Structure 1
Amino acid sequence: MKRGVRESIAVSAVLLAALFILPLLVIVPFRSELLTREPPMDETEGEPFVSGDLDSRTVLKVKNGDTVEEMDLGTYLVGVVRAEMPASFAEEALRAQAVAARTYTIYKLQTGGNHGSEADICTDSTCCQAYISEERARANWRKNANDYEKKVENAVTATDGETILYGGVPILAVFHSSSAGLTRAAGQVWLNDLPYLQAVDSPEEGDTIPNYYSRAEFTAAEFKEKMLAAFPEADFSGPVDRWLKNAVTDSAGSVETVEVGGVTVKGTQVRAALALRSACFEWEVQGEKLVFYVTGYGHGVGLSQYGANQMAADGADYKEILTHYYTGVTVEPYSFALPG
């Protein structure tokens, strides 16, 4: 009897031990792998970009903050397209942007640039073109990073070397975010007119564009301070509702000229002084405040990015987009190399 009890207890002990030991026998050989395994990486992430044959021939010195680094034209353009146009845009719009950015770069290089011997071009959008690294772009794009990076890179390689030419020469291929239904001629905004930068229809749908309509308000004191800094000869001794008057607008509603404190100035100068999103503005006086209602974003000359995206959505390819926004041009491969 006692022997049977002892045998039963022994069998139970063995079974109990097995319940604890067997899982360990399975897990322990793989323990380090289970505890240290990293999530699998997407094989496309981190693959180096390879420029096309024509773009790779031009090596630039790019000033990025306080440093200057060398990269070929294609690599630079990928960084520009990442920064200058939403990667969610249609592929044909991104290709149009890539060609415009390439043309703008070559134009700057051929006309001397802004940086002397230190650099060929920089990443400051107020001087040259905006630029963003792949790492920063991926952080912004998040779950769309791989798709967006591929779209941008394809836009550059698919248009390798293609440049916007007028009379066989690269143009000043300026671009902006969105127009008020019509782009502006260069002469309406800057000192000189250019035959390929003329006003054309632009099909962007304002209601679908973030901040297409914006509002800015200033107290009388703020407005007077900003205007006197820009136009010291202006006279603001009269009532507030007489400080700004006699606006002359173009067919798209952009202000060509306006009287500020009795001085006639360009609408673009008022835009700059008040940091408005565009020169397509109206205003009203509300008590001691001046309130501005602004349409579109940018100087309004050349390629409209949102207009390009709408044209692409309507079936236009990148060459049709470019020859629409830049008058009398051709889009062709253009071999360019820096001297030296």
Structure 2
Amino acid sequence: MKRTSQFRQTAAVSAALLALLFLLPLAVVVPFRDSLFSARDTVDEHEAEPFVPGELDASVTLRVLDGDTVEEMDLGTYLVAVVRAEMPASFEPEALKAQAVAARTYTLYKIRTGGNHGEEADICTDSTCCQAYIAEDRARENWGADADENETKIEAAVHDTDGETILYDGVPILAVFHSSSAGQTRAAGEVWVSDLPYLQAVSSPEQGDAIPNYYSRAEFTAEQFREKVLSALPEADLSGPMDTWLQNAVTDTAGSVETVEVGGVAVKGSTVRSILGLRSACFEWEIQEQTLVFYVTGFGHGVGMSQYGANQMAAEGADYREILTHYYTGVTVEPYVPGEG
């Protein structure tokens, strides 16, 4: 009986210890269960605060055509998406402000002149028609670890220039811009049909060696060149020797081709650029083993503000108003409200 009693006591103690062994961790874990297992506390997802535009930009509502959808948004929100797409976020803050003002001006010019979309929309997100545009989530994917810093810079550029617009005779100008010039911008009349007093040739200080693809090269076989040119200029005569196909080039002070004869047809250098898909109209060419080789400087049409030139001016201490009044001749930069100009 004594052994049985001792055995029962030992078994009871063992059971108690075993229970304690399993219950003790729970006693420690339960008070902290929420912090350990709560999805609310452990998931650290970035939720960006929505952009709050300034008073003047907020007062303008745009109908923005994105694909087949028309979305309404305030001018400031639209401009942030444009600046994200049009200028590298790594650029100087004053250059980003200049870009914001140029983009705002271009948008208000489109509204004032009726735009390209009639009653359907004020502007679109297609860069070949209006201005480039990228939503915040896509931009953040592209930026990676720099997303917060980049978004803050771009939103500040738009907010800090609230309503400021480039004006000539009190109305918004056609504030076109391009990536980089060959040391000088081009007058509108050198590139397009009409000249404009505020789009004249001015010096541009971009540092070519620091700009990606500032110098580029394009090659075309005789067959490739004929196909591209004749599809756009069927009257061109490309039957003779290759060295007669391009003749009598006239260049402007920036070194861009103003006019050139292609197969006997006089065209603008900008037309040749478009036909061949060159990065700019600042080009030279030579024949190498029955291949036409083009050497190109800069990127874009060359009219208005050079973005890399603006960034260089900002790095040298210029503010955004100085940048804009340099690239656009005879203008002022001041607040503007549609309907009041």
Q: TM-score, normalised by structure 1?
A: 0.91
Alpha-carbon distance between aligned partners in 1 of 2:331 and 2:209, rounded to the nearest angstrom: 31
How many residues matched?
Answer: 336
Task: Name 1:200's counterpart in structure 2.
Answer: 202
- Compare 2-11 and 180-189 and name the one that shifted more: 2-11
Alpha-carbon distance between aligned partners in 1 of 2:226 and 2:38, rounded to the nearest angstrom: 64
Conserved in 2, the CA contact under 8 Å of 1:57 and 1:337? no
- Compare 90-99 and 29-38 and name the one that shifted more: 29-38
Distance 1:286 1:10, change over 3 A: farther
Task: Name 2:174's counterpart in structure 1.
Answer: 172
Distance 1:209 1:36, change over 3 A: farther
Displacement, 1:238?
Answer: 1.0
**Residue identity (%):** 73
Displacement, 1:31?
Answer: 4.7
Which of 52, 55, 58 in structure 1 is aligned with 2:57?
55
Task: Name 1:96's counterpart in structure 2.
Answer: 98
Distance 1:73 1:4, change over 3 A: same
Task: Name 1:124's counterpart in structure 2.
Answer: 126
| Unaligned 5+ runs, structure 2 | none
SS in 2 for 1:54: helix
Task: Name 2:244's counterpart in structure 1.
Answer: 242
Task: Name 1:27's counterpart in structure 2.
Answer: 29
Alpha-carbon distance between aligned partners in 1 of 2:325 and 2:112, rounded to the nearest angstrom: 22
Alpha-carbon distance between aligned partners in 2 of 1:284 and 1:12, rounded to the nearest angstrom: 97
Which of 113, 131, 143 in structure 2 is aligned with 1:141?
143
**Per-residue displacement from partner, 1:167-205 (whole Å, max 9, x unpaired)?**
212111100011111100111101111111111111111
Displacement, 1:245?
Answer: 2.2
**Per-residue displacement from partner, 1:227-280 (whole Å, max 9, x unpaired)?**
001111111111112211222111221111111111111110000001111111
Supply the AA of the counterpart residue of 1:277.
Answer: R
- Compare 216-225 and 282-291 and name the one that shifted more: 282-291
Conserved in 2, the CA contact under 8 Å of 1:187 and 1:193? yes
Instruction: Note if 1:259 corresponds to 2:292.
Output: no
Alpha-carbon distance between aligned partners in 1 of 2:20 and 2:126, rounded to the nearest angstrom: 69
SS in 1 for 2:250: strand
**Per-residue displacement from partner, 1:61-82 (whole Å, max 9, x unpaired)?**
1100000011111111111111
Distance 1:241 1:17, change over 3 A: farther
Supply the AA of the counterpart residue of 1:165.
Answer: L
**Per-residue displacement from partner, 1:283-328 (whole Å, max 9, x unpaired)?**
1211121111111110000000011011111000000000000011
Displacement, 1:134?
Answer: 1.2
Supply the AA of the counterpart residue of 1:289.
Answer: T
Task: Name 2:184's counterpart in structure 1.
Answer: 182
Which of 30, 38, 44 in structure 2 is aligned with 1:40?
44
**Per-residue displacement from partner, 1:22-59 (whole Å, max 9, x unpaired)?**
344323554564345343244xx421212211111111
Supply the AA of the counterpart residue of 1:173.
Answer: A
SS in 2 for 1:62: strand
Alpha-carbon distance between aligned partners in 2 of 1:212 and 1:10, rounded to the nearest angstrom: 86
SS in 2 for 1:265: strand
Task: Name 2:81's counterpart in structure 1.
Answer: 79
Displacement, 1:160?
Answer: 0.9
Task: Name 2:72's counterpart in structure 1.
Answer: 70
Instruction: Note if 1:191 corresponds to 2:193.
Output: yes
Supply the AA of the counterpart residue of 2:44.
Answer: P
Conserved in 2, the CA contact under 8 Å of 1:58 and 1:337? no
Backbone CA RMSD of aligned residues: 2.3
Alpha-carbon distance between aligned partners in 2 of 1:280 and 1:322, rounded to the nearest angstrom: 23
Q: TM-score, normalised by structure 2?
A: 0.91
Alpha-carbon distance between aligned partners in 2 of 1:337 and 1:149, rounded to the nearest angstrom: 31
